[in-house]
């Protein structure tokens, strides 16, 4: 008697569009740059406030 069960087909390779460069390093670099910008702004705010206060207090009259 002939078996009607067939051999499973080989799985098709996973096909996806590959970008020219991986995305993960770009996201990581963007987060790093954002962190540095945020740190720079946080460090610059007291300096800006001090300069503004100095300009306000020592206004030549």
pLDDT tens by residue, 25-46: 778 889 999 999 999 999 999 9
Token couple for 51: 């300069």
pLDDT at 57 over 60: yes
Burial 9-21 (b: 16+ CB within 10 A, else e): eeeeeeeeeeeee
Helices (H) and strands (E) in the chain, counts: 1, 0
pTM assigned to the model: 0.47
**Which of 14 and 6 is assigned the larger pLDDT?**
6
Q: Is the model's pLDDT at 1 over the cut of 60? A: no
For the chain, how many residues are written? 61
Domain ranges of the chain: 23-61
CB atoms within 10 A of CB 52: 10
Residue 21 confidence (pLDDT): 61
Residue written as token pair 């306000």: 56
């Amino acid at each position: 008697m002939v078996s009607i069960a067939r051999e499973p087909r080989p799985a098709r390779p996973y096909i996806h569009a590959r970008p020219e460069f991986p995305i993960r390093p770009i996201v990581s670099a963007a987060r790093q740059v954002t962190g540095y910008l945020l740190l720079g702004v946080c460090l610059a705010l007291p300096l800006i406030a001090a300069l503004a206060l100095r300009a306000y207090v020592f206004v030549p009259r």
